Amino acid sequence: MARPVLRTALCDMLGIEYPVILAGMGPVAGGITGPVATAKLVAAVSNAGGLGVIGGAGFSPERLREEINTVRSMTDKPFGVDLLLPSNFMGGAAAGGEMPQDPRELIPAETYAGVRKLVEDLGIAWEKAPDTPRPQRPRGAGMSDAQMEVVIEEKVAVFASGLGSPAQWMDRLKANGTKVLSLVGNVKNAKRVAATGVDIVVAQGTEAGGHTGRVATLALVPQAIDAVSPTPVVAAGGIADGRGLAAALAMGAVGAWCGTAFLVADEANQPELQKQRILAATDEDTRVTRLYSGKTMRNITNPLIEAWEASGIQALPMGLQGLLIQDLVHSVRKAGREELLMNAAGQVSGLLTGTRPAAEILHDIVNGAADIIARQLPETVEAVPGD
Ligand SMILES: Cc1cc2nc3c(=O)[nH]c(=O)nc-3n(C[C@H](O)[C@H](O)[C@H](O)COP(=O)(O)O)c2cc1C
């Protein structure tokens, strides 16, 4: 396949060949394999001309540093790091200094009992996860603070905040020459992050896999562009082929941030079962749920998600919800029912047909868009002159 040519302002800003960014995707499937976007996938996308981004959220600061250096050993091209900077981790208890020695004390007994019943109703024996000694390192806000120190010390080319605002870090990131991207799901947050001086706003529509808001990409992107101009906007959510990228560029976005498309890359770090479930999914097989993280997250649906949503159990804040479902994840894994674990993916899953190398996925997206743009619009469309 001929190497496509497609450049936008994003390419010049980030020093990349194509206006496509690999979403910095974190862990799925109860963290069995760690984050999805690790060095192999990140380097593959950067080497192919896009921008690879490490899904750093689940990494300890030490592991994050290692991963950055592994990518550096695999490519001399620019790449980024994505972290979550949630403002309400553990319901604010972590920030307020009122965290009990064992944060699990903050979990209401009836919520725990409710979760246990959901699992048992699916014929799975309940088993407590072994109490593994936790390393003495800060969690939540403290954790992302320590991860951010690594991003700054390592002077990464691009930093992306997946949740929350990078405001408190902007001066130090800018001093390093790091380009800062911020993901948002509505116009209010687009304005908020643009006001902090981020270089690029990533407007992510509800069809996206992973944490997601309520506004669809086609509605959000033009509104975000109007709200934050002249800050450039990258479109995310539902973009997995040339038609999606061409549409994003037609709306005025400078590029696309793609997650689901790369979930089935050979280099994507997630269990084969999760990849196969994405390939088997249709456009209607995802559901937004707070079950796995406490925040609204789009997943390939499964009977546990359906039961959780039907139960009306109130999710706990991010951080605590993860602790709430620790025993659930353990029991599900013990029973060999990995299809009930987190399998974040977007509505565009139905478009994916097979696993293949990340470079091929990237080049197909870019080639498809370049072709549409060269032909202007599909031949079925005729321009009708106005009066
Ligand atoms: C498996 C998975 C994990 C994700 N993890 C993160 C994450 O850790 N940080 C983040 O900013 N976004 C994360 N996202 C969201 C992506 O960054 C991105 O916005 C989304 O995938 C774009 O929509 P698409 O899936 O339709 O391409 C994740 C998405 C998926 C599918």
DSSP 228-272: HTTS-EEEESS--SHHHHHHHHHHT-S-EEESHHHHTBTT--S-H
Cβ(185) to ligand 1 under 6 A?
A: no
- Write the class of the CATH domain 9-96+103-374: alpha beta
Task: Give residue 305's pLDDT.
Answer: 98
Task: Give residue 142's pLDDT.
Answer: 61
Task: Give residue 34's pLDDT.
Answer: 85
Task: Give residue 27's pLDDT.
Answer: 85
Residue closest via CA to ligand 1's atom 13 equals: 25
Cβ(25) to ligand 1 under 6 A?
A: yes
Which pLDDT tens digit goes with each residue over 351-373? 999 999 999 999 999 999 999 99
Q: Provide the pairing of β-strand 52-55 with 233-236.
A: unpaired
Best residue for ligand 1 mutational test, from 22, 161, 198, 211 (most atoms within 8 Å of Cβ): 211
What residue ranges do the domains of the chain occupy?
Answer: 9-96+103-374
DSSP structure class, residue 340: G
State the distance from the centre of ligand 1 to the C-alpha of 175, rounded, in angstroms.
28
Cβ(55) to ligand 1 under 6 A?
A: yes
Task: Give residue 381's pLDDT.
Answer: 65
Please identify every stretch of the chain with a pLDDT value under 70, giving residue numbers as ranges: 1-2, 88, 92-98, 132-142, 377-387
Q: What is the 3-state secondary structure (H, E, C) of 91-160?
A: HHHHHHCCCCCCHHHHCCHHHHHHHHHHHHHCCCCCCCCCCCCCCCCCCCHHHHHHHHHHHHHCCCCEEE
Grouping H, G, I as helix, E, B as strand and the rest as coil, residue 82 is strand
112 φ, ψ to 5°?
Answer: -60, -45
